[in-house]
């Protein structure tokens, strides 16, 4: 089959990252040609500042050398700038006459430094700061000249000033604003940073407007044609042998605009793209990176560009299931031991409140901005260890109401004790062990990050094994990563984390693909999504199996070998290798006949322990594996079915005696509990699900810590959701009040069906609610009656053929499943 032709214009970080992601998904779909204006392979532009400062060399920041292109069958035209796109003939033309045809075109032309129209800006010695050539020119100038002026006190300007100062130059930073880094820092943090930089020898002229760049004078008083001074509007002049303009960047969209692609007008210019990263003018042409305008925003940081690249690759690979919906960005500056971090809307405004810790003498400043108990912005100076944590809380929109009192003292105060933030990571020697499980030291991690161009925690885990076992060193590894790559660090949101090492895809993407492409088998999923391993692993197989049967309950066939050992055996394996058998007792009710059957089974199979469980069941502990089919056959014969005590499924509906017997009862709790349990019998879910029904507000059934809690009141029932009585007890949240039994079943069923359809595998209801928000659930279940009824109907339809799982296994002769299989979690 003839391959399609893909042409990439722009050999920078965004475009090549897109190609890397595409090669993971569809390595044989395209013949790929790359045009790059620079005569190099792909390099890490973020690390140009350490090169300028003398901390790294150019070979050390290369991400993909020239051999990489050949190894991957990519044709590279380095040092050749594309000057024309012929959309009719689907062809690109470079300045030297080189042509290339395309079926799909990817534009990643980046940005160019904004050079203000100041008289003298064309003099020798005036540079922008964008690429290797600029960096080499600055290094050369630092070896010859003394006075440097940096125009612009933003992130890039300060890093340039620091590098030149370390090269021995006398550096003055000129800025139009009233304080430095005003787009990244508030006034307090900026003042502290400026004082620290001044103590190191950097000079500042703020609120100054440059009027002209003046040529130098020779010994005779004439002009020698090279830069010599900077003059300001107030008449002040300072000497300057080198001027670095770091006054911002502009999207490089001229090539696209000349080809008739829409590039906007007014304030936001750039190649306008949709959420699929296709240009709004021509769907054959995609664009990523700093040249792009998406939803009115042009991004200049690396992390959003990588997010764009991942989505773009998904569509180039013809999966069609990714959407780029914009990025929440963070900024990190590290200048000779000075740590600064900011993210989101740190300026605050109407409806927001600030929590501030300001220790000027100690050199620490923290400001966290909250709105509706969620972080919307933060700025940190000195101690930035928790920057990535605040950023993650902000990206995931997690409520911080319960940890508000401890928020400013950092994540370590909520868990393991730690040292003072990122300074801990920075001060550690390279020989210090970071990951005790795998014996990985700091130097190994830093070397891998730099040499392999790693930007995410998952990439560091993959290449070094650090933080891949017990996970206790994860925070420290993230600190080292953030410290090493600065603004390129990518904190991954919960929605974007891969299912496992077998795939790049998240739970969200896998679920969407199964539904969008009507996939009904794990083989179809693995083939469609280009799984790296042919049969998956013990993490992804159970997840994919759940997503299949929850999406297509009457078409997808449940795969027993993709279940955990407890689910295959229909019993809980114990530490001594025996099993725990729990027959179901509807709503905690039983009969003498059932008790007699349990007693007979316990005696017949010599069960050593019989215990009443917390879920009002009777547990037979110590059953031998070979006796499981027989003991279940005896219990089935007595009319008893599995209690699903082992499953990612409905476990129990705990009840009090309710109005049936209790003098305080207001509703029939036992009757309601039995109805709910029978409605939900055999319900498979992302994780275990527990319910409780209390007949009055005294709540003897502990409904407040269940996934669904039902509490009887005089006029009906109150419903609570998202409780958890596990390792970290979570109190359920109030959902709504309903009138009668049928409403309880409809509302509870709709809530659980929404969870079944949208929850990630192994995600409890409490964590799902944290991710999507209670307001979202209320909108779907409480406020939209038609949608609630549809959800409830889908649940009933999925469960209409519910059967005892043990009986099903016997009929299908799956006793053979007890032979150990791979999924042994």
Over residues 601-613, the pLDDT tens digits come to 999 999 999 999 8
Which strand (E) or helix (H) includes residue 796?
helix 785-798
- Report whether 75 contacts 33 (CB < 8 A): yes
User: Which segments within 480-617 are labelled E, that is strand?
Assistant: 572-573, 579-581, 609-612
Domain check: are 679 and 759 in the same one?
yes
Which residue in the block uniquely carries the two structure tokens 């050539």?
A: 133
Domain check: are 8 and 73 in the same one?
yes
pLDDT at 87: 97
pLDDT at 370: 95
Last residue of a domain, one of 496, 521, 544: 496
Whether residue 418 is predicted with pLDDT greater than 70 in this model: the reply is no
Which strand (E) or helix (H) includes residue 677?
helix 669-680
In whole angstroms, give the CA distance from residue 476 to residue 71.
35
pLDDT at 823: 33
Domain check: are 274 and 408 in the same one?
no
**How confident is residue 419, by pLDDT bands cut at 50, 70 and 90?**
very low
- Summarize pLDDT for 464-520 with one digit per residue, the tens: 878 765 455 676 787 788 777 765 555 655 566 788 878 888 898 999 999 889 999
pLDDT at 454: 83
The tokens describing 313, both together, are 């690759």
Domain check: are 789 and 759 in the same one?
yes
Whether residue 821 is predicted with pLDDT greater than 50 in this model: the reply is no
Q: For residue 50, what are the contacts with CB-CB under 8 A and spacing of at least 6?
A: 56, 61, 163
Last residue of a domain, one of 367, 382, 413: 413
Whether residue 23 is predicted with pLDDT greater than 90 in this model: the reply is yes
Which residue in the block uniquely carries the two structure tokens 């933060």?
A: 378
Q: Exposure of 58 by Cβ count < 10 A (0-12 exposed, 13-18 middle, 19+ buried)?
A: middle
For residues 397-422, average pLDDT: 66
- Summarize pLDDT for 266-323 with one digit per residue, the tens: 778 999 999 999 999 999 999 999 999 999 999 888 878 988 999 999 999 998 888 9
**How confident is residue 436, by pLDDT bands cut at 50, 70 and 90?**
low
Any domain includes 602: yes
Any domain includes 68: yes
- Summarize pLDDT for 67-81 with one digit per residue, the tens: 999 999 999 999 999
Any domain includes 419: no
Percentage, residues of the chain above pLDDT 90? 59
Which has the closest alpha carbon to 342: 394, 296, 299? 394
Whether residue 4 is predicted with pLDDT greater than 90 in this model: the reply is yes
pLDDT at 805: 61
How many independent structural domains does the chain possess? 7
For residues 77-88, average pLDDT: 96
The tokens describing 104, both together, are 């799909």
CATH code (residue 33)? 3.50.50.60
Domain check: are 131 and 259 in the same one?
no
Domain carrying residue 146: 126-247
The mean-pLDDT minimum among 2-11, 625-634, 719-728 falls in 719-728
The mean-pLDDT minimum among 246-250, 509-513, 575-579, 584-588 falls in 575-579
The tokens describing 246, both together, are 């770091």
pLDDT at 824: 34
Pairing assessment for the beta strands 237-239 and 579-581 based on DSSP bridges = unpaired
- The annotation status of 263 as a binding-site residue, yes or no, is no
User: Which segments within 493-578 are labelled E, that is strand?
Assistant: 572-573
pLDDT at 43: 92
pLDDT at 825: 34
- The annotation status of 736 as a binding-site residue, yes or no, is no
Domain check: are 660 and 787 in the same one?
yes
For residues 730-738, average pLDDT: 93
Percentage, residues of the chain above pLDDT 70? 91
- Summarize pLDDT for 103-113 with one digit per residue, the tens: 999 999 999 99
Domain check: are 146 and 209 in the same one?
yes
Alpha helices by DSSP H, listed for 414-503, are: 421-427, 442-452, 457-464, 474-485
**How confident is residue 339, by pLDDT bands cut at 50, 70 and 90?**
confident
Domain check: are 663 and 772 in the same one?
yes
Any domain includes 671: yes
In whole angstroms, give the CA distance from residue 744 to residue 671.
12
Q: For residue 703, what are the contacts with CB-CB under 8 A and spacing of at least 6?
A: 654, 692, 693, 694, 709, 710, 711, 720, 723, 732
**How confident is residue 804, by pLDDT bands cut at 50, 70 and 90?**
low
Domain check: are 173 and 278 in the same one?
no
Whether residue 420 is predicted with pLDDT greater than 50 in this model: the reply is no
Whether residue 156 is predicted with pLDDT greater than 60 in this model: the reply is yes
Domain check: are 61 and 192 in the same one?
no
Query: Could you tell me the sign of the dihedral formed by the alpha carbons of 227, 228, 232, 238, in that order?
Result: positive
Pairing assessment for the beta strands 618-623 and 579-581 based on DSSP bridges = antiparallel
pLDDT at 562: 84
pLDDT at 223: 67
Which has the closest alpha carbon to 54: 142, 155, 151, 170? 142
Last residue of a domain, one of 265, 288, 316: 316
- The annotation status of 656 as a binding-site residue, yes or no, is yes
Rg of the Cα atoms in the chain? 32
- The annotation status of 696 as a binding-site residue, yes or no, is yes
User: Which segments within 302-397 are labelled E, that is strand?
Assistant: 330-335, 338-344, 353-359, 364-371, 374-381
Q: Exposure of 534 by Cβ count < 10 A (0-12 exposed, 13-18 middle, 19+ buried)?
A: exposed
**How confident is residue 193, by pLDDT bands cut at 50, 70 and 90?**
very high
- Summarize pLDDT for 762-790 with one digit per residue, the tens: 889 998 998 888 999 999 999 999 999 99
pLDDT at 440: 83
Q: For residue 272, what are the contacts with CB-CB under 8 A and spacing of at least 6?
A: 261, 262, 263, 264, 279, 280, 281, 292, 293, 294
For residues 426-441, average pLDDT: 73
CATH code (residue 758)? 3.30.413.10
Domain check: are 680 and 791 in the same one?
yes
Any domain includes 809: no
- Summarize pLDDT for 679-718 with one digit per residue, the tens: 999 899 999 999 999 999 999 999 999 999 999 999 999 9
pLDDT at 819: 29
The mean-pLDDT minimum among 149-158, 256-265, 794-803 falls in 794-803
Q: Give the residue with greater pLDDT, 419 vs 48.
A: 48
- Summarize pLDDT for 631-653 with one digit per residue, the tens: 989 998 888 988 888 888 999 99
State the Cα torsion 229-234-236-242 to the nearest 10°: -30
Whether residue 385 is predicted with pLDDT greater than 80 in this model: the reply is no
Q: For residue 97, what are the contacts with CB-CB under 8 A and spacing of at least 6?
A: none
Any domain includes 711: yes
For residues 171-185, average pLDDT: 93
pLDDT at 822: 32
In whole angstroms, give the CA distance from residue 176 to residue 19.
39
Q: Give the residue with greater pLDDT, 566 vs 172.
A: 172
Whether residue 528 is predicted with pLDDT greater than 60 in this model: the reply is yes
Any domain includes 321: no
pLDDT at 437: 57
As a whole number, the mean pLDDT across the chain is 87
Domain check: are 632 and 655 in the same one?
no
Any domain includes 820: no
Whether residue 809 is predicted with pLDDT greater than 60 in this model: the reply is no
pTM for this structure? 0.64
């Amino acid at each position: 089959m003839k391959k399609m032709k893909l042409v990439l214009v722009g050999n920078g970080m965004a475009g090549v990252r897109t190609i890397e992601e595409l090669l993971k998904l569809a390595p044989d779909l395209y013949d790929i040609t790359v045009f790059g204006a620079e005569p190099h392979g792909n390099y890490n532009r973020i690390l140009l500042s350490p090169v300028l400062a003398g901390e790294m060399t150019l070979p050390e920041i290369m991400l993909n050398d020239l051999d990489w292109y050949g190894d991957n069958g990519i044709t590279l035209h380095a040092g050749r700038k594309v000057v024309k796109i012929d959309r009719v003939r689907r062809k690109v033309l470079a300045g030297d006459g080189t042509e290339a045809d395309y079926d799909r075109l990817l534009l990643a032309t980046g940005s160019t430094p904004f050079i203000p129209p100041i008289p003298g800006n064309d003099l020798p010695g005036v540079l922008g700061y964008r690429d290797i050539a600029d960096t080499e020119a600055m290094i050369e100038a630092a070896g010859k000249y003394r006075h440097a002026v940096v125009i612009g006190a933003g992130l890039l300007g300060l890093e340039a000033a620091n590098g030149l100062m370390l090269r021995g130059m006398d550096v003055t930073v000129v800025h139009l604003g009233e304080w430095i880094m005003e787009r990244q820092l508030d006034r307090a943090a900026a003042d502290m940073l400026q004082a620290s930089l001044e103590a190191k020898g950097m000079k500042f002229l703020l609120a100054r407007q440059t009027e002209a760049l003046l040529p130098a004078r020779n010994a005779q008083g004439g002009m020698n044609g090279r830069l010599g001074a900077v003059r300001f509007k107030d008449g002040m002049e300072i000497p300057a042998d080198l001027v670095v303009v770091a006054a911002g960047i502009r999207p490089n969209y001229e090539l696209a605009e000349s080809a008739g692609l829409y590039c906007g007008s007014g304030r936001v210019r750039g190649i306008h793209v949709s959420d699929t990263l296709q240009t709004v003018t021509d769907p054959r042409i995609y664009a990523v990176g700093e040249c792009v305008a998406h939803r009115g925003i042009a991004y200049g940081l690396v992390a959003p560009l990588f997010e764009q690249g991942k989505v773009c690759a998904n569509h180039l690979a013809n999966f069609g299931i990714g959407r780029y919906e914009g990025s929440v960005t963070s900024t990190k500056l590290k200048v000779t031991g000075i740590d600064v971090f900011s993210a989101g809307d740190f300026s605050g405004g109407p409806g927001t409140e600030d929590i501030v810790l300001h220790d000027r003498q100690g050199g620490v400043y923290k400001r966290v901005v909250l709105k509706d108990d969620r972080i919307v912005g933060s700025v940190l100076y000195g101690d930035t260890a928790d920057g990535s944590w605040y950023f993650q809380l902000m990206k995931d929109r997690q409520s911080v109401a319960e940890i508000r009192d401890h928020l400013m003292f950092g994540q370590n105060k909520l868990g393991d004790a730690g040292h003072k933030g990122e300074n801990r990571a920075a001060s550690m020697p390279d020989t210090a062990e970071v990951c005790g499980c795998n014996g990985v030291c700091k130097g190994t991690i830093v070397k891998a990050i730099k040499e392999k161009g790693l930007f995410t925690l998952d990439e560091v885990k993959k290449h070094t094994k650090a933080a891949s076992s017990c996970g206790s060193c994860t925070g420290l590894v993230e600190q080292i990563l953030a410290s090493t790559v600065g603004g390129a660090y990518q904190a991954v949101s919960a929605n974007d984390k891969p299912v496992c090492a077998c795939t790049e895809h998240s739970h969200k993407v896998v679920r969407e693909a199964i539904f969008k492409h009507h996939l009904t088998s794990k083989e179809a999923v693995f083939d469609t999504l280009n799984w790296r391993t042919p049969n998956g692993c013990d993490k992804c197989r159970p997840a994919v199996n759940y997503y299949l049967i929850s999406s297509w309950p009457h078409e997808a066939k449940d795969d027993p070998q993709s279940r955990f050992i407890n689910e295959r055996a229909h019993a809980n394996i114990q530490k001594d290798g025996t099993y725990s058998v729990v027959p179901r007792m509807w709503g905690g009710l039983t009969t003498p006949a059932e008790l007699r059957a349990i007693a007979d089974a316990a005696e017949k199979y010599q069960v050593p322990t019989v215990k009443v469980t917390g879920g009002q069941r009777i547990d037979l502990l110590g059953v031998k594996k070979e006796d499981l089919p027989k003991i279940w056959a005896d219990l089935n014969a007595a009319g008893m079915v599995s209690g699903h005590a082992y499953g990612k499924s409905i476990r129990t509906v705990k009840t009090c005696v309710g109005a049936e017997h209790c003098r305080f009862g207001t509703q029939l709790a036992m009757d309601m509990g039995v109805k709910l349990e029978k409605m939900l019998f055999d319900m498979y879910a992302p994780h275990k699900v527990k319910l409780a029904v209390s007949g009055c507000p005294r709540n003897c059934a502990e409904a407040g810590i269940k996934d669904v809690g039902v509490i009887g009141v005089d006029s009906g029932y109150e419903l609570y959701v998202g409780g958890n009585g596990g390792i970290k007890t979570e109190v359920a949240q109030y959902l709504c009040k309903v009138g009668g039994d049928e409403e309880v079943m409809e509302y509870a069923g709709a809530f659980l069906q929404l969870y079944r359809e949208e929850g990630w595998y192994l995600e409890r209801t409490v964590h799902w609610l944290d991710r999507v928000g209670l307001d979202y659930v209320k909108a779907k279940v409480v406020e939209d009656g038609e949608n609630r009824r549809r959800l409830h109907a889908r649940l009933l339809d999925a469960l209409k053929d519910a059967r005892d799982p043990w009986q099903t296994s016997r009929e299908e002769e799956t006793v053979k499943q007890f032979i150990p299989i791979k999924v042994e979690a």
